Amino acid sequence: MTDTVSARAAVVSTTIPQQIDLVYRDILEELRANGYAVHLVTSRGPHTARLEARVHRIHTVPMQRQISLLSDVACFVAWLRLLRTIRPELVLAGSPKASLLALSAARLIGVRRRAYLLQGLRLEGTTGATRRLLAAAERLASGCADVVIAVSPSLAKLYQRLGLAGSTPVRVPAGGSSHGVDAAYFHPMAADESVRRGLGLDASVPTLCFIGRLTADKGLPTLAQGLRRLATEGLAVQLLVLGKQDERDSQGMLELLRGTGTLVRDVEHVPDVRPYLSLSDALVLPTRREGLPNVVLEAAAMQIPSITTDATGAVDSVVHGETGYVARMDDAADFAAGIRLLLTDQTIRRQMGVAARARAVEQFEPRAVARAIVGLAMGESAPVPGKHRSARPGSAAELLEQGQLKQHRTADAEVRAVPVRQLPAHTGVPSDRR
C-alpha cells in the first residue's frame, strides 16, 4: 500500500509478529472498514511480509518480551519518532511490552485515543520484586490508556481488584476473547484414522488432548496427578500432547506425564490442530492462568467439550456442566472427576459438545469480536454481552436433575433432546464453583 501519511491513521502494535495474522487480522480489517489507514508496529520477523497487503504500512521496532533497560529506552525513543511522523488518531496496543512503550509514547505526544488490549496477566504466579515490577509496568500502561480492553470477564475483575487500572475504565468486548473462533474452519469432523495410526493410538481407548506450552504454568502437574488417580481406578486413557517444548521445564513436564501409566503421544510442531482434535474425546487444560484460552474455543467449535480450571480466563471459556467441566485450580482429584465424567458417559459428552459448539458459534464470531474491540478502542460503549455466561455453581449431576442439560441447540439451530437422568454416584463432582 502507499506510504503516504493519512490524516486519519491508526497504529496497532504487538511485540511478537507471529500473533498478528492470528489475533489481529479481523481487527485490522475492522479498523480499515472504519476509515483508518492502519500502521502496524511490531518486531522484525518472517511473518511481517505477508501482512503488507492488510495494512497501510508496516514499521519495525526491535521490542523484546523480557525487560532490558537499554533496549527498552532505545525502543521508546523510536516510538516517539514514529508517532510524531504518523500522527495517528488512535493507538491500539496488545502485548505487555508493546503496550507499555506505545501507550506511554502516545500519551506523551498527545495521541487522541489510546487503547490497551489486555490478553493476560504475566504477574500471576510471580512474587517479590518481579511481581512488583510487572505490576508497576501494568499501572503505567493502563494509566496511559483511555480504556483497557480485557479479553475475559474474570481477567477484567482481577485487573481491577489488584488496583492495576487506576481510574482507567476496564471493558470486555461482548462475551470476551481477542479474536473469537472461526466456526466454519473449526467444525465437527470425522476422526482422521491415518493420523491415529501414525501416532499409534488405540481407537477403542478414550483420548484426551492437551494443546499448549509444556510448562508447569499450564497445570501439567495437576493433569499428571489426575491421570495417576484414574489409572489406579482402572480407567484406560491415552493422552495426545500438542505444543512447543521450548520452556526450561518442558522435558520434565513431558516425563512427568509419561510416568503416569498413561499412553502419551507428543507432537511439537503442528500447522493444523484439527486432525488431532478429531481424534479426541475431550480437551484438557489444567491451566493456572489465561487471558481467554482460544484452544478451548477451537475444540468447542469442533463439538469437543473441555475440562479446564477456574483460573483467570479459563473459567470464562467453559459453562460448567453445560459445555464442559470446570475444576478447581491445582485440584487433581477434581480435575480427575471431570475427566471421569466426560469419558465414562457418552451421552453427557456428546451433549456438552453440541452445547459447546452452539456457544462458540453464537458468542465468539471473529468479526463480531473485532467489531466490539475496535468500538471500545474508538470510545464507543461496551456492547451488551447478551447470552454470555461463564462457569456457574452446580455439578453436572445437579444441572441434569434441574433439567438444564435437557436440550441444546446445534450449529444448525436444530434442537436435539437428550434424556435427563441421574449420573452415577461415583462421579464425585463437587458443586462449589465460583
Structural domains of the chain, with CATH: 9-171 (3.40.50.2000), 193-364+393-427 (3.40.50.2000)
Helical (H) or strand (E) element with 280 = none
Residue 7, pLDDT score: 54
The mean pLDDT of 352-365, rounded to a whole number, is 97
- Higher pLDDT, residue 175 or 277: 277
Helical (H) or strand (E) element with 356 = helix 346-363
**Confidence grade of residue 412 (pLDDT, cut at 50, 70, 90):** very low
336: its cell numbers: 480427575
Assess whether pLDDT exceeds 50 at residue 390. Answer: no
Q: Judge residue 51's burial from the number of C-beta atoms within 10 Å of its C-beta, 0-12 exposed, 13-18 middle, 19 or more buried.
A: middle
Give the bridge partners for 407, in sequence order. 417
Q: Which range among 136-150, 287-301, 372-386 shows the weakest confidence by mean pLDDT?
A: 372-386
Q: Are the beta carbons of 55 and 1 closer than 8 angstroms? A: yes
Residue 228 CB contacts under 8 Å (≥ 6 apart), including other chains: 260, 261
How many whole angstroms separate alpha carbon 329 and alpha carbon 17?
Answer: 31
Instruction: Provide the 10 A C-beta neighbour count for residue 408.
Output: 21
How many whole angstroms separate alpha carbon 198 and alpha carbon 191?
Answer: 13
Residue 269 CB contacts under 8 Å (≥ 6 apart), including other chains: none
Helical (H) or strand (E) element with 41 = strand 37-42
pTM attached to this predicted model? 0.86
Residue 255 CB contacts under 8 Å (≥ 6 apart), including other chains: none
189: its cell numbers: 469432523
β-strands 415-417, 407-409 pairing: antiparallel
Q: Which range among 74-83, 190-199, 232-241, 419-428 shows the weakest confidence by mean pLDDT?
A: 419-428
User: 67 phi and psi, to 5 degrees?
Assistant: -75, 125
